[in-house]
Amino acid sequence: MNRRDVVKTIAATAAVASTAKFSALAFADETAATFTLPPLGYGYDALEPHIDTATMKVHHSGHHAAFVKNLNGLVEKVPDLKTKKITEILSDLSIVPEDSRTAVRNNLGGHFNHTFFWDLMTPGGAKGPSADLKSAIDATFGSQEKMIEDVNKAASTRFGSGWAWLAVDENKKLVVFSTANQDTPHMDMAAKPVIGIDVWEHAYYLKHMNKRADYLKAWWNTVNWDKAAENFKTAST
């Protein structure tokens, strides 16, 4: 390996290390004068065979990028986008001027949901829940298998496009529910997410066509349970 190759290797390693520290929930507590598309921190092919490369590329660089572009077009009309935390806005959309409220709901919600989604699927990490999260799951659902069954039911019965969630509610209890479109747990349930599954067709149609159940079965193989444990800890405090 020559010197140039060594330098490239070091740079690539540093880049991976920096993206590995990314936290979706920390991102949600930031403000932004200019919104940016967060890097995945892994390749579009990293979740194969469970999530295919083409879907990941279109989903991230197409759909999520569109939310970011739209948000930057709203910044001047909605000054709170510059000064308030993302979760603060999503938790109380009444602070957004009425003529921009739907656009903020859809695009800021989409930006939050997708950033959370990419982070949760970061390759590597634990293959099962941490002790604290497992204890909470068992206490609420009886088992991890029953929790997954309930989340999949919420996902499969969501009519049209939306998300399914495992979240912590205002009483610090785990709950399962779904939201429409790009709504977040903050909007509909005043809850904080632990696990979220995108069930818009663009999340699975290239590989699974209309078979949402097949996508859901495959998707659980992508969960980074270390990330879920972080989300649970943050949501429970």
Please count the CA atoms within 13 angstroms of the CA of 77 that sit on its side-chain side: 13
Any idea which architecture 23-29+49-237 has in CATH?
3-Layer(bab) Sandwich (3.55)
Domain ranges of the chain: 23-29+49-237
Using alpha carbons, list the distances in angstroms from residue 165 to 3, 149, 185.
48, 12, 8
- Give the separation between CA 195 and CA 230, rounded to whole angstroms: 11
What angle do helix axes 98-120 and 65-74 make, rounded to 10 degrees?
150
Q: What is the pLDDT of residue 20?
A: 41
DSSP-assigned letters across all residues of 3-39 = HHHHHHHHHHHHHHHHHHT--HHHHHT---SS--PPP
Does the N-terminal peptide bond of residue 38 adopt cis geometry, omega within 30 degrees of 0?
no
Average predicted confidence (pLDDT) for the chain: 89
Alpha-carbon distance of 54 to 51, in angstroms, equals 9
CA distances 230 to 14, 116, 205, Å, are 23, 12, 30
Q: List pLDDT tens digits, range 128-171.
A: 999 999 999 999 999 999 999 999 999 999 999 999 999 999 99
Does the predicted model carry a pTM greater than 0.85? yes
